[in-house]
Amino acid sequence: MKAVVQRRYGSAVFGDLDVPVPGKGEVLLEVRAAGVDMGVWHLLTGKPYLLRFLGFGFRGPKSPVPGRDVAGVVTEIGPGVTGFEIGDEVFGTCEGSFAEHAVAPVSRLARKPEGISFTEAAALPISGGTALEGLRGVQPGQRVLVLGAGGGVGSYGVQIAKALGAHVTAVCSTRKVELARSLGADEVFDYTVADFTGTYDLILDCGGARPLSRLRRATNEGGRIVLVGAETGGSITGGFHKSIGALFLNPFSSRKFVPLMAKELGVVFDELRVMVEAGTLKAPVGKVFPLSEALDAVDHVYSRRSVGKTVVAI
């Protein structure tokens, strides 16, 4: 099969590999589309280095194929799998979706939403699931601030916070303002013109550039600052530097920092399916690349040129 092949951190090529075999609790998918997010860049480069100590592979990546968001069709069932059949259209996460075929654990899959394309479905799992987990507990009428609102997680964050009945303020750069508005934000700050003002019950920090002190000042008494990720912390700790700082600040404040590590579960993706089918969530697909240009797709995201979600179609 054709695939992006990655044996070491920092080097990947478009080439050929054997079709993988599903193990216990897994299915083989004919991949139709693979979503791209910053996590793919982290696993391609092995940076920040802290990742290597967190079980993602010390000397090189555990999976020879990058790509994690996936949408496709089940073509083979592994031992012990129930609830899925050959021919099912599914979406979720796996290790190695930048390929014509990929093996996925069924615990990380859900049925593809009716009425959307595989390309849209592949744009949902990691970013949409992360936003959903980060916004748990938001009540109608609360004020939610989404930093990085024109990116992957943020674009779902705006929609999900709106669906929960919150008043949503989005923060992004100029090129992403229209997208943030179209997703339902009540207010949009283009931070290249003026930074956001006001205070909030929950801040979903997907942009990462603002210091913890700034975020805490912008949070109401008893509110939460959900730390989704940042690309500002350097090559050793990366975005984790904010979570580490939060550990020291939390005991001294009623405004809590909540470092988030999305669980990537099929049950969470099924919640996204329900929202998509109900019309309260859409996958804001930006640019679509062919498999042979999957590495360009990663660069597109890494260099912050993407507006909404970038997807590789196979």
Ligand X SMILES: NC(=O)c1ccc[n+]([C@@H]2O[C@H](COP(=O)([O-])OP(=O)(O)OC[C@H]3O[C@@H](n4cnc5c(N)ncnc54)[C@H](OP(=O)(O)O)[C@@H]3O)[C@@H](O)[C@H]2O)c1
CA R_g for the chain: 19
Q: Which of 260, 281, 298, 311 binds ligand X (CB under 6 A)?
A: 260
Please, what is the minimum distance in Å from the beta carbon of residue 212 to ligand X? 15
Nearest-CA neighbor of 200 among 173, 172, 234, 225? 225
Q: List the one residue out of 253, 203, 245 whose CA is nearest residue 228.
A: 203
- Cβ 131 vs Cβ 160: under 8 Å: yes
User: Residue 126 interacts with ligand X (CB under 6 A)?
Assistant: yes
| Alpha helix (H) residue ranges in the chain | 38-45, 118-122, 125-134, 152-163, 177-182, 212-217, 234-237, 240-249, 266-278, 294-302
Report the nearest approach of ligand X to the CB of residue 74 (Å): 25
**Does residue 152 bind ligand X (CB under 6 A)?**
yes
**Residue in 285, 311, 309 with CA at minimum distance from that of residue 127:** 309
The residue of the chain with the least Cβ separation from ligand X equals 151
Side chain identity, residue 235: S
Check residue 163 for interaction with ligand X (CB under 6 A). no
Q: In the structure encoding, which two tokens stand for residue 185, read together?
A: 């934000």
Q: Does residue 154 bind ligand X (CB under 6 A)? A: yes
The interface mask with ligand X, positions 82-121, x = CB under 6 A, is ----------------------------------------
- Any contact of residue 203 with ligand X (CB under 6 A)? no
State the Cα angle at 71 between 67 and 77, rounded to 5°. Answer: 100
Is there binding between residue 173 and ligand X (CB under 6 A)? yes
Site string for ligand X, 205-244 (x = CB under 6 A): -xxxx------------------xxxxx------x-----
Output 62 or 141, the one with its CB closest to ligand X.
62
Tell me the two tokens of residue 17. Answer: 């590999």
Cis peptide bond upstream of 48, omega within 30: yes
CB nearer ligand X, residue 74 or residue 110: 110
Nearer to ligand X, 167 or 304 (CB): 304
Q: Which stretch binds ligand X (CB under 6 A): 9-17, 111-119, 201-209, 288-296?
A: 201-209
Contacts 24+ apart (CB under 8 A), 298-303: 298/36, 298/40, 298/41, 298/44, 298/66, 300/36, 301/36, 301/37, 301/38, 301/40, 301/41, 301/152, 302/38, 302/41
Eight-class DSSP state of 38? H
Q: How far is the CB of 33 from ligand X (least distance, A)?
A: 16
In the complex, what is the shortest distance from the CB of residue 275 to ligand X, in angstroms, rounded to a whole number?
Answer: 18
301 forms part of the interface with ligand X (CB under 6 A):
yes
Inter-axis angle of helices 125-134 and 152-163, to 10 degrees?
50
Select 209 or 274, whichever has its Cβ closest to ligand X.
Answer: 209
- Selected from 144, 145, 153, 163, the binder of ligand X by CB under 6 A is 153
Taking a C-beta distance cutoff of 8 angstroms, is the pair 21, 103 a contact?
yes
Under rule CB under 6 A, which residues in 28-47 are in contact with ligand X? 37-39
127 binds ligand X (CB under 6 A): yes
Name the packing angle between helices 266-278 and 125-134 (round to 10°). 90
If the CB atoms of residues 4 and 262 are measured against ligand X, the closer one turns out to be 262
* Interacting residues with ligand X (CB under 6 A): 37-39, 126-127, 130, 148, 150-154, 172-173, 176, 206-209, 228-232, 239, 260-262, 301, 304, 306
